[in-house]
Amino acid sequence: MRAKRLIIRDFLALREMTLDLDNRGLVLIVGPHGAGKSTIIEAMSVVMTGRPIRKIRMADLINNLSQSTEVVLETDEGKFRFCRGERRRSNLPILPVGREALFHSYLCPDTEIGKPFINYSARSQAELLLTILATDIYTKASKRARERAKAVRADLERLGNAVSNAKGQIAASSRVMEHVLQKLNKAREIRDSEEAKLRAREEVLRRIESADEVEIVNEIKKLKERRFDLSSRIDRAAAIENQILRLRDDVARADDAILTLEQKIAKKTKQVESWTKLTEEAKCPLCQQPLDHQAVSNVLAKFEKEAADMREELSELKSERAKMRASIENLEAQRDLVDELTAARDALTAEITKYEAWLKDLEGEKSKVAQELAAIEEKRVALAQSVSDIENDVEKVRDMISAAESAFLKVSSEYEAHHFDWEMWKIISDLYAFDIPAECLRSSCKTIATFVMDRMYGLGYPVSIDFTMVRDEGKISIDMNATDDKGVSYEGWCRSNKRRLQLCLSSAFRRLMPFDFNVAILDEPLVGLNEQSVENVLGMLREELDMCSSIFVLSPREDFIPLFDEVIRIQ
């Protein structure tokens, strides 16, 4: 990412400031303590990471003379903005490195210089280097491969469900299509039926519209004749209805008689069965006296004759009832429905009344006829529109079915692809057994040690950098130490030498980071250095201008001005 301009408004001690960042060379930002020099690093921190360097509340970032603050960073990737106290939302960049790695490389505040990388714990050193070098991706590779295999497996199950759902959607859409087609056929039938009625009615109305009084009188006469005919049919239908009611009463009585006779026949049949059994007995079952079989036979013959007579009578009743029912069916087939005929007669009467009214005011009726014709046309249009809407619904359902089939094909192909991915990631997770992060860290530490020792030698203070790397429970720890040529460890160095080492480490980190940034800001890196050391440090910084086109050095000392390419004063 290439930064072009930094715009600060009402941020901490600065009211408004615009700072061009690209291709400035070595720039000194000079001003007294409290003027706002360090505020520039704080502004870069909030606009790039969303948080200030120091522990400052977000509300305290706003200048005391304002109600809101804004920091804008213009880059080749667009504008990024940090806002507080107004409705506009912040828009921060997505950086490939962490916040702490940024403070050890491109944004070096004074507070961080006092806490050098050498003083970090072994685990913290490893974590920071993993962030700076972006080698933690290899540490997570095997885990991510397993997680990816698990996720793909979950996707496989989801896609399997999606395949089933797609099949169900196709079936449901097919059922909907069947229902809509039935609805369309019914609507078309209604439309055709209503069209026929409307055409007939329209013809009558147009004939009335063009008719004169004589034709209307003739029409009234015809209608009255039809009404008389309907009245006659109503009378005949009423007579037939009464006859049907009487026959139904007769049928009901016949049903009762048949039921009674059937009961008698059943009773008589039991008697016959009882006397028939007596003919087979020698003695009476009640008194145990010898039976007179001749008398028993006579009684049995009498009962059988009575039963036969009853059956004959029953057959006649059923035959009579069948005839009455046949008569009812014939009458029902002949009769007309009185209500429908009466309604038709009433309609004719209303029609006659209407025609008679037309005779009184033919012009007015012709106007009404025109309105009715318009209403008929509206109804015709509405019916056509209804059919058209249903046809559109049919097309939509066809589209739904097509979309469901496409979705089914797509999900099926995705299912096959995910099945292949699952097998591939499973193999990768099984094969990831070598330790890339450890090798990368070991190589990077050697590079850092060589680079720092070379730079420290150039600054006039030879040192030796050594490190040890330990892997415990899947985590890496690095313990990097520094000693000078006299064998004095880092803790025994003076402050200026510690600053030199920290500057060299920052330079090494900038060269090794995968994040290319064209601006570096160092807060008071020259404090405590003698004149020769200052020149050496600035020479080292000038060598980095091929990587950072602008390096800003914050300092309150104006005697450094001749040593820099540009000077920015802050009062």
Question: What is the pLDDT confidence band of residue 428, given thresholds at 50, 70 and 90?
Answer: low
**pLDDT > 90 in the chain, percent:** 8
**Residue span of the structural domain in which 288 resides:** 214-359
pLDDT of residue 363: 61
- Whether 236 maps to a domain, the answer reads yes
pLDDT over threshold 60, residue 211: no
More confident site: 491 or 156 = 491
pLDDT at 73 (0 to 100): 92
Q: Is there a domain that residue 7 lies in?
A: no
Residue 492, both tokens: 């025994």
Residue 235 inside a domain? The answer is yes
- Both tokens of 319, joined, read 């035959």
Residues 196-207 have pLDDT tens digits of 777 776 676 666
Question: DSSP of 181-213, one letter per residue?
Answer: HHHHHHHHHHHHHHHHHHHHHHHHHHHHHH--H
What distance in Å separates the CA atoms of residue 124 and residue 128, rounded to the nearest whole number?
6
**Mean pLDDT of the 498-527 span:** 85
DSSP letter for each residue of 20-44: E-SS-EEEEEE--TTSSHHHHHHHH
pLDDT tens digit string along 30-76?
998 888 888 998 899 888 888 888 888 888 888 888 888 899 999 98
Lowest mean pLDDT among 318-327, 368-377, 438-447: 368-377
DSSP-derived letter for residue 89 is P
Q: At what angle do helices 436-458 and 531-543 cross, to 10 degrees?
A: 140
CA-nearest of 48, 28, 140 to 541 is 28
> pTM higher than 0.75, yes or no?
no
Residue 507 placed within a domain: no
Assess whether pLDDT exceeds 80 at residue 497: yes
Q: 296 lies in a domain?
A: yes
Are the CB atoms for 321 and 258 separated by under 8 Å?
yes
Neighbours of 339 (CB within 10 A): 10
Cα 302 to Cα 120, 291, 298, 311, distances in angstroms: 132, 18, 6, 14
What's the rounded Cα separation, in Å, for the pair 478 and 470?
7
> Residue 35: what are its φ and ψ, rounded to 5°?
-75, -20
7 three-state secondary structure: strand
Angle subtended by helix axes 141-210 and 362-431, to nearest 10: 170
pLDDT class of 501 with cuts at 50, 70, 90: confident
268-285 pLDDT tens trace:
888 888 777 777 665 666
State residue 284's pLDDT score. 63
Reduced to 3 states (helix: H, G, I; strand: E, B; else coil), residue 513 is: coil
- The partner residues of 479 in beta bridges, in order of sequence, read 468
Residue 14 within any structural domain of the chain: no
Give Cα separations from 316 to 307, 322, 327, 329, 476 (angstroms). 14, 10, 16, 20, 115
Q: What is the mean pLDDT of residues 343-354?
A: 76
Look up tokens 């006039």; give the residue.
460
More confidently predicted of 436 and 398: 398
**How many structural domains does the chain have?**
1
Over residues 80-131, the pLDDT tens digits come to 999 988 767 888 887 767 778 888 888 888 744 446 777 788 788 777 777 7
CATH of the domain at 295: 1.10.287.510
Helix or strand (DSSP H, E) at 84: strand 78-84
CB of 502 within 8 A of CB of 493? no
Q: Does residue 5 register a pLDDT over 90? A: yes
Instruction: Give the mean pLDDT of the chain.
Output: 79
In the DSSP assignment, the letter for residue 293 is H
Give the residues across from 466 on adjacent strands.
481
Q: At 131, is the secondary structure helix, strand, or coil?
A: helix
* Dihedral over alpha carbons 302, 307, 309, 314 (to 10 degrees): 170
Burial 7-22 (b: 16+ CB within 10 A, else e): bbbbbbebeebebebe
Residue-level pLDDT at 552:
93
Asked whether the predicted pLDDT for residue 290 surpasses 70, the reply is: no
Q: Is the pLDDT of residue 432 over 60?
A: no
Residue 137: pLDDT above 70?
no
The full DSSP string for 464-512 is: EEEEEEEEETTEEEEEEEEEETT--BGGGS-HHHHHHHHHHHHHHHHHH
Q: Which of 231, 205, 201 is nearest to 216 (CA)?
A: 205
Asked whether residue 394 is assigned to any structural domain, the reply reads: no
Residue 312 reports pLDDT greater than 80: yes
Distance CA 133, CA 512 (A): 6
pLDDT for residue 113? 44
Q: Is the dihedral of CA 482, 484, 490, 494 positive or negative?
A: negative
- In tens, the pLDDT along 161-185 reads 777 777 777 777 788 778 878 877 8
CA 532 – CA 542 distance, rounded (Å): 15
- What is the C-alpha R_g of the chain? 55
- What is residue 112's predicted lDDT score, i.e. its pLDDT? 46
Of 567, 508, 563, the C-alpha closest to 539 is 563
Domain-located, residue 227: yes
- Angle, helices 436-458 vs 495-512, to 10°: value is 130
d(CA 361, CA 363): 6
